[in-house]
Amino acid sequence: MDAPTVQTYPQTRQGLRLRRPRRPEAPPLNPGDRLSRAEFERRYEAHPEITKAELIEGVVYMPTPTHFEGHGEPHGQIITWLGVYTAATPGVRLGDNTTVRLDFENEVQPDALLRLDPALGGRSRITEDDYLEGPPELIVEIAASSASYDVHVKRRVYARSGVQEYLAVQMYERRIDWFVLCEGVYETLAPGEDGVLRSEAFPGLWLHSDAFWAGDLAAILDTLRQGVESPTWAEFSARLKAAQE
């Protein structure tokens, strides 16, 4: 009777059996990848070491590490400014680096946002897995420069998705563009004669750009205080309170 055939395997020079590497549960997430939103989320969630990634028009973007004066400090001032406004205004909700699903090719993580719940006229909603779906009323991005994708491709996506206002802070040029959606197209919000930018979506949300570029948080908040003491804010606040009752 013939001897049974024994299966052999390639060996290393040390006599150890070679093994195929185990396939990872999810492929890596890399800048420039072209993915569906579902695949983007699968890879993003499988790699918790990645702190920020966005899907814009089906392409993955991953920001570089952020600098203190170029991003961290102005980001903190913007969050403080929006937080004080949120504390004063009933029904307004603030998000910091929150994932927003806009459509099947766009899932963004803006630096900051303000939104209203649908019961108060807002267009975004909180999903069962605790993300936002749909356009918030205001998005703020701290952009490195006017060459950033924040100012170009994301601006087009935000306009198409119905984000009512988009505030783009361009650090290199020391420029603030506050875009307002008019018939599907963004127009630039002009400051008043006093240099103050005044939101149309959120009455009373006022920003003095000179104070911002000076890094004067006290002056930023003083301008905001004047905004939330204005008649337009009082009317807006009363309307939101009535809708909540």
**Per-residue pLDDT reduced to its tens digit, 178-205:** 999 999 999 999 999 999 999 999 999 9
Least trusted range by pLDDT, from 137-151, 201-215, 224-238 = 137-151
| CA distances, 137 to each of 134, 153, 195, 222 (Å) | 10, 19, 23, 24
Predicted pLDDT of residue 106: 95
On the question of pLDDT at 150 being above 90, the answer is no
Tallying the residues shown for the chain, one arrives at 245
CA-closest candidate to residue 149, choices 63, 39, 74, 65: 63
| 3-class secondary structure, 38 | helix
Predicted pLDDT of residue 66: 85
Rounded to whole angstroms, the Cα distance separating 93 from 70 reads 26
Fill in the amino acid letter for 121: G
DSSP class of residue 169 equals: E
Rounded to whole angstroms, the Cα distance separating 230 from 135 reads 27
The tokens describing 229, both together, are: 């003491």
Fill in the amino acid letter for 165: E
Predicted pLDDT of residue 20: 52
The CATH label, of 3.30.230.10, 3.40.50.150, 3.40.47.10, 3.90.1570.10, for the domain at 60-244 is: 3.90.1570.10
Name the pairing type of β-strands 132-133 and 100-103: parallel
Predicted pLDDT of residue 13: 44
Please give the residue that has the higher pLDDT: either 108 or 65.
108
Q: Please, what is the average pLDDT of the chain?
A: 90
| 3-class secondary structure, 151 | coil
Neighbours of 66 (CB within 10 A): 13
Q: DSSP 3-state helix, strand, coil percentages of the chain (rounded to 5)?
A: 30, 25, 45
- What is the widest separation between alpha-carbon atoms in the chain? 103
Fill in the amino acid letter for 32: G
**Per-residue pLDDT reduced to its tens digit, 32-69:** 999 999 999 999 999 988 989 999 999 999 987 789 99
Rounded to whole angstroms, the Cα distance separating 128 from 110 reads 20
Cβ contact 200:165 at 8 Å? yes
On the question of pLDDT at 6 being above 50, the answer is no
